[in-house]
Amino acid sequence: MKPKKRTTIYDIAEKLNIAASSVSRALNNNSIINEETRRLVHATAAELNYKVNTLASNLRKGESKTIGVIVPRINQNFFSNVIAGIEEASYKKGYNLIICQSNELREKEIQCVNTLINQHVDCIVISVSAEGGDYAHLQSVIDSGIQLIQFDRVAKELETLKVINDTEQISMKAVSHMIEQGYKRIALLEGPQNLDIFKQRKEGYLKALKKHHMPVNDELIVENAWTKELGAEGTKRLLNLPQPPDAIFASTSDFSALGVLEVALAMGIKVPSELGICGYSNEAFTEITSPSITTIDQFSIDMGKTIAELFFKEMGKDASSRKPKTIRIKPSLIIRASTNRKDKK
């Protein structure tokens, strides 16, 4: 099969007429090995094009120097940015990433978790799928003694490390901003309420209304509008109400905000003067639509780095002293044209 067997420490040992253990120690610059033999071993290793077998090494050492990452979709801006952040920070420490996508499916998520446990990863980083259900599979990660870090979409009942955005607070800020811009009837496009992050976005919306003594109007709340198409659909319904909204907080995503914008423009409704729009995520395109879309930046790359750093920091501790811990990253409201009807630059 393989063309030639790969060189092992035994090959080096044989060639130099020393023991494999000495070769191992020499290669790890480890123990108190004679400088001369150390040099010899390294030279021979280079000559024979030796590469360690990480599998063997990890098996023996009982670690894998690998972090498993499970996200709903790899090719979603937010997630790919988080992954990029994790990768950058872990690579520096000599850790590799195994990436899986759950496709928002519980069943596949369970499969991924099992694969990663079998791979003996040192840590599993996960943003749970939207499908919901119980979290026995995540519990079993913990039981296996593998560090579990949840981010963004977290199962809050599980006592693990968590890295999340301060979602409620920023949502409140976004809606307050719209109120301050003079919008009176603000609608909400909400996401699946079994995911905490969407619940919190709604909560922020409600709190902002309450704080400004504005009524909550159920007909202005549209469920499950988290794609561009669903956002557009919901918007049509909203704008055809007897009393249509004068602003829409697309709390699910910028894509749904885009749907809102397109429908509004198609119906000849002026943004932001007649309709304010705020999205979520700061996708690249929000900056360049016309008008540009107000949105929320989640600092996704930083989030990735934070996750990796958290893992390395907690790594030393043994299981008994592991405590659940939540790191909040403050997102930032990016005010653009789509909600800006007062301040002219």
Partner DNA sequence: TAATTCTTTGCAATCGATTGCAATTTAAAA
Partner DNA sequence: TTTTAAATTGCAATCGATTGCAAAGAATTA
Which residues contact a copy of itself (rule: CB under 8 A)?
1-4, 6, 49, 51-56, 58-59, 62, 64, 66, 73-75, 77, 80-81, 83-84, 87-88, 91, 96-101, 103, 108, 114-115, 117-120, 140, 143-145, 258, 262, 283-285, 288-290, 301, 318-320
Q: Cα separation of 115 and 20, whole Å?
A: 33
What contacts 179, CB < 8 A, 6 or more positions away? 186, 208, 209, 212, 214
What residue 194 binds from a copy of itself, DNA, none (CB within 5 to 8 A, per partner kind)? none
CB of 80 to a copy of itself, least distance (A): 4
Residue 302 CB, nearest approach to DNA (Å): 33
d(CA 176, CA 165): 18
Q: Does 307 bind DNA (CB under 7 A)?
A: no
Phi and psi for 124 in degrees, rounded to 5?
A: -120, 125
Minimum distance between the CB of residue 100 and a copy of itself, rounded to whole angstroms?
7
Nearer to a copy of itself, 32 or 319 (CB): 319
Helix (H, G, I), strand (E, B) or coil at 118: helix
Q: What is the dihedral of CA 186, 191, 192, 195, to 10 degrees?
A: -100
| 25 counts as binding DNA under rule CB under 7 A | yes
Number of CB atoms found within 10 A of residue 181's CB: 18
CA neighbor of 125 nearest in space, from 330, 314, 332, 316: 314
- Partner touching 25 among a copy of itself, DNA, none, CB below 5 to 8 Å by kind: DNA
Among 34, 194, 273, 326, binds DNA (CB under 7 A): 34
Q: Give the one entry of a copy of itself, DNA, none that residue 27 binds, where binding means its C-beta sits below a cut-off of 5 to 8 angstroms depending on kind.
A: DNA
Q: Can you tell me the distance from the alpha carbon of 165 to that of 153, in angstroms, rounded to the nearest whole number? A: 9
**Residue 115: which of a copy of itself, DNA, none does it interact with, CB under 5 to 8 A by kind?**
a copy of itself
Residue 19 binding: pick among a copy of itself, DNA, none (C-beta 5-8 Å cut-off by kind): DNA
Does the protein bind DNA through residue 28 (CB under 7 A)?
Answer: yes
Please, what is the minimum distance in Å from the beta carbon of residue 29 to DNA? 11
- Whether 81 and 38 have beta carbons less than 8 Å apart is answered as no
Residue from 4, 29, 35, 218 that binds DNA (CB under 7 A)?
Answer: 35
Query: Given the rule CB under 7 A, which of 8-16, 158-166, 204-212, 222-230 is the region that contacts DNA?
Result: 8-16
Q: What element of type H or E holds 69?
A: strand 66-71
The two structure tokens encoding residue 261: 């914008």
Nearest distance from residue 15's CB to DNA, in Å?
12
Closer of 121 and 238 to a copy of itself (Cβ): 121
Cα dist from 325 to 164, 212, 236, whole Å: 11, 33, 42
Residue holding tokens 């750093």?
Answer: 309
Binding mask 128-147 for DNA (x = CB under 7 A): --------------------
Q: Assess 30 for contact with DNA (CB under 7 A).
A: yes
Q: Is 267 in the site for DNA (CB under 7 A)?
A: no
Angle at 29 between CA 25 and CA 31, to 5 degrees: 55
Q: Residue 200: how many CB atoms within 10 A of its CB?
A: 20
Kindly state whether residue 10 participates in binding DNA, applying the rule CB under 7 A: yes
The encoded tokens of residue 257 equal 């905000």
Contact 122, 315 (CB under 8 A): yes
Peptide bond into 272 cis (omega under 30): yes
Binding residues for DNA (CB under 7 A): 5-6, 8-10, 17-22, 24-25, 27-28, 30-37, 50, 52-53, 56-57, 59-62
